Amino acid sequence: MASTPPQTSKKVRNNSGSGQTVKFARRTSSGRYVSLSRDNIELSGELSGDYSNYTVHIPPTPDNQPMATKAEEQYVSNSLFTGGFNSVTRAHLMDKVIDSDVTHPQMAGAKGSSCAMPACDGKVMKDERGKDVMPCECRFKICRDCFMDAQKETGLCPGCKEQYKIGDLDDDTPDFSSGALPLPAPGKGQRGNNNMSMMKRNQNGEFDHNRWLFETQGTYGYGNAYWPQDEMYGDDMDEGMGGGMVETADKPWRPLSRRIPIPAAIISPYRLLIAIRFVVLCFFLTWRIRNPNEDAIWLWLMSIICELWFGFSWILDQIPKLCPINRSTDLEVLRDKFDMPSPSNPTGRSDLPGIDLFVSTADPEKEPPLVTANTMLSILAVDYPVEKVSCYLSDDGGALLSFEAMAEAASFADLWVPFCRKHNIEPRNPDTYFSLKIDPTKNKSRIDFVKDRRKIKREYDEFKVRINGLPDSIRRRSDAFNAREEMKALKQMRESGSDPMEPVKVLKATWMADGTHWPGTWAAATREHSKGDHAGILQVMLKPPSSDPLIGNDSDKIIDFSETDTRLPMFVYVSREKRPGYDHNKKAGAMNALVRASAILSNGPFILNLDCDHYIYNCKAIREGMCFMMDRGGEDICYIQFPQRFEGIDPSDRYANNNTVFFDGNMRALDGVQGPVYVGTGTMFRRFALYGFDPPNPDKILEKKESETEALTTSDFDPDLDVTQLPKRFGNSTLLAESIPIAEFQGRPLADHPAVKYGRPPGALRVPRDPLDATTVAESVSVISCWYEDKTEWGDRVGWIYGSVTEDVVTGYRMHNRGWRSVYCITKRDSFRGSAPINLTDRLHQVLRWATGSVEIFFSRNNAILASKRLKFLQRLAYLNVGIYPFTSLFLILYCFLPAFSLFSGQFIVRTLSISFLVYLLMITICLIGLAVLEVKWSGIGLEEWWRNEQWWLISGTSSHLYAVVQGILKVIAGIEISFTLTTKSGGDDNDDIYADLYIVKWSSLMIPPIVIAMVNIIAIVVAFVRTIYQAVPQWSKLIGGAFFSFWVLAHLYPFAKGLMGRRGKTPTIVFVWAGLIAITISLLWTAINPNSGPVAAAEGVGGGGFQFP
């Protein structure tokens, strides 16, 4: 089996001379500041005494490696990295990140006790447990700066005046088995060299693998930590210990997931009814074409055209539903395979692959920071190995409010995450948890739960107050610092003899908690500090945790965590660089920036993306997804799509916000074909699939390699891609290119079964990851710059695809078109929950955006008609329907007017209501009802939800979809971008009502077509009824036929009418005036075109026979 190349140590790689130079700007107590956005800082004259720029360079020598590594990692986590196009990447050392105290040792700004050096106010670094790090055995407390100075000058400890050496702590027993597999020290266990044994211990007294690798020039790679050789253990070990598959080979193999077919009693009649309805529909349309209404040929022609399109649209929607399936997972088997202790893994270190979680936000005013903070807290508390989780927040607005809100969330996570682990809390969104209307003590057995919950609830209330007070706090802080700068500038003007009447010119900057300029967007936008013009920003809020659990105690926190792991996942704040003149591609561009930055920092083989208002409702959701990715045959799964579930929806779900017909019906059906479409959030991606590669073909790849241990390269996955073309596809980052085969290897299923041809050996992912260093973080800053994607395939083939407002559907389509498959994961407990607009106007605009994206897809090269042969036929129909469904609005809106036209004219779509017509209509209706009932059965949705979906289909089809088609055609033909904005707003009075938004009426032009349709049909019914009464020979059959279809239209528009009424009839009068004017105009126009008078019409009973309005 071919393997990945061994992952080169970051320390060796970053000091090879190819890495970036990082300049740290230290701010002294004078309070002066030089803008971080400038390309160069002139350290001359007065400023030279306040700042010093230096390059971080840690020589990887055995004497200083552990302390240097800890020091650099501490500085990385305490530094705000900025950079971008044509500018130097700078690491601004921050004294404090937020105004409140920081307690967790992983968090940025965490410091130990005071340095013991005279005249130094620095702080001693903390280790993973929050204890002071002392580099000398004499326990002399020294900060990082003083330590580096002592090393550079004399190499002597200022305390004991002896050479620095690692303290020999006899009470700390080295744990040589804490790794994935035992790594023998040089000499295969010989302990003759006491000094070498001392040098291979880290600060916790554990065996230092990094030091051993340096001294022995070893590597973590295939055949070493991944696959231990048989002779490694000598003759004393059991024969079964020689291979890496011992633990799983001795146990019966069990799958991680199962495919559960729909019961035949439901799916067989369902398929039969689809076939029957298809046949009946063909006969009906044939009969309709052969029997035109000669008396109203125009009415017949319009109706038959619409019905032919509806039949075609029904086929596109119904045929992909032929193969619905259900799936189940087995979390116990996942735990046994990846997390259980074994002879080679006595501590039970997890062998699960890493995962990077992405959350995106753009505007703290529209997306409240408290909502985003709660989402991040639910992610940080997820039930997954802590060292395998990395969280990334993309702030596309570059707002200090979002930055400090995330810092506050990281600080509160110090209490919230261990509390969730200790008491097995669900859900792990604190706002949702404390809002539950159930007994919180249910299923809780620990006697201290009530006391802990009371404490954490008080802390959360204070946390909310701090978050809500951040805007005012930032404003007051910025005003104070700006006033100080103005006073300084005024003083300088007086000293220089300038005109005192001249106004003082000082930029109204936004200031951080440590008294320095925020490099992102300022409240008073200016050049290089606005939403579309600011430097790239990256802050490691929480540095990577240690590989082994860190059990808390009963004294450090307000809650006793003495039996709880207190580690927190890695958390990174990212705001990509934005500059005028660059197309930043909105959310898709932000996601691609996170893909590149995370590849360098953590390189998790899987990525889970969430919207800022979608939080993790089921803490085991990631494990559920891993059951599919790690199962046999999972190597060709590009993503796992979870259903979207929503909170705050009105009980009647008036506007079908839950969209259960799509998520529980259509998506479950596609799961039986090639997989569900990507819907933008709640999706677990395989990173390798996002890079634009085809799914692996084990047979072809293994044929190219003579040895199973020969390293794989990117050309093995794509024959057309060689090393020289890597910059063209992925950019010029070497670290990013090197991470690709590593991510591919780590994302493979476990090779624990002979049928697994393309897997990885057990134990390969138990190796601890390297700590972060400045050069690596600087590289990640460079890949989020605005110029990085120039002349690359990002957005075209790699990552999220650009060019559509529905970039999610296009991205998923490209993967399926390359032969990948996806899986739909419905869990017993909802995996994720979020919010949805319950206001009519907001809902219409949401659907407008989706439909506009579908029209763009139809007119682009992403149209399923142009798909490759790798896209299955039913999947092709589903994607074709995605691009075509908005065009149904053109026929739907005409068909909704046909009943009114029929009533006005006295004609019908057929000449007479013959028996053939009624029989066909009855059979189609019975098939429709049967299909609806059976679909409700196999999908698990309610009949009322199905009906709500039908109503909303007509409402959106006559409004949002119609506008989307017009907008798409204008864009394609004339290149005109049209945006529909709200012009009139009305607010609700009851702020305590959680459904207050449901009753708010906001005027929008999208409301005009449904209103006109409703009013025209109502007027037509009244006119036709009155005319029929006054006829000499009343034609009741034609009245009933036309009135029935008019009532069918009005019944579908009922939720829309309720939305217009609001709570107290607050619909703007202009809405009814315009709609009534249009309806009356159409009615009068029809009367002028086809006047109902004349003796012939009266004799035949067709016209009004001298009919007049009463």
Which value, in Å, is the radius of gyration of the alpha carbons in the chain? 34
Give the tokens for residue 833: 């929950």
Q: Quick one: CA torsion of 663, 669, 672, 673, rounded to 10 degrees?
A: -100
Q: Quick one: CA torsion of 277, 282, 284, 287, rounded to 10 degrees?
A: -160
How many of the other CB atoms lie within 10 Å of CB of 1070?
Answer: 10
CA angle 241, 244, 248 (to 5 degrees): 95
d(CA 362, CA 355): 23
Nearest to 728 by CA among 680, 720, 140, 277: 720
- Edge-to-edge strand list for the sheet holding 51-55: 51-55, 23-27, 90-93, 79-83, 536-542, 570-575, 389-395, 355-361, 606-611, 683-686, 637-641, 821-824
- Which of 208, 356, 396, 830 is catalytic? The answer is 396
Place of tokens 């059979």: 923
d(CA 531, CA 590): 14
d(CA 850, CA 237): 62
Asked if 460 and 433 count as a contact pair (C-beta separation under 8 A), the reply is no
Cα separation values, 315 from 309, 321, 832, Å: 10, 10, 32
d(CA 1042, CA 416): 63
- Which of 548, 808, 830, 997 is catalytic? The answer is 808
Strands (E), 388-507: 389-395
Query: How many alpha carbons fall within 13 Å on the CB side of residue 15?
Result: 12
808 is catalytic: yes
The H or E element that residue 536 is part of is strand 536-542
Q: Is 177 helix (H, G, I), strand (E, B) or coil?
A: coil
Give the tokens for residue 675: 């997989």
Residues 6+ apart with CB under 8 A from 48: none
145 is catalytic: no
Whether cis (ω within 30° of 0) applies to the bond prior to 343 is no
End-to-end CA distance of the chain: 89
User: Which one-letter DSSP state was computed for residue 316?
Assistant: H
d(CA 663, CA 720): 38
Nearest to 629 by CA among 673, 551, 685, 672: 685
Per residue, the 3-state secondary structure of 363-403, as one string, reads CCCCCCHHHHHHHHHHHHCCCCCHHHEEEEEEECCCEHHHH
d(CA 623, CA 628): 9
- Cite the active site residues: 396, 808
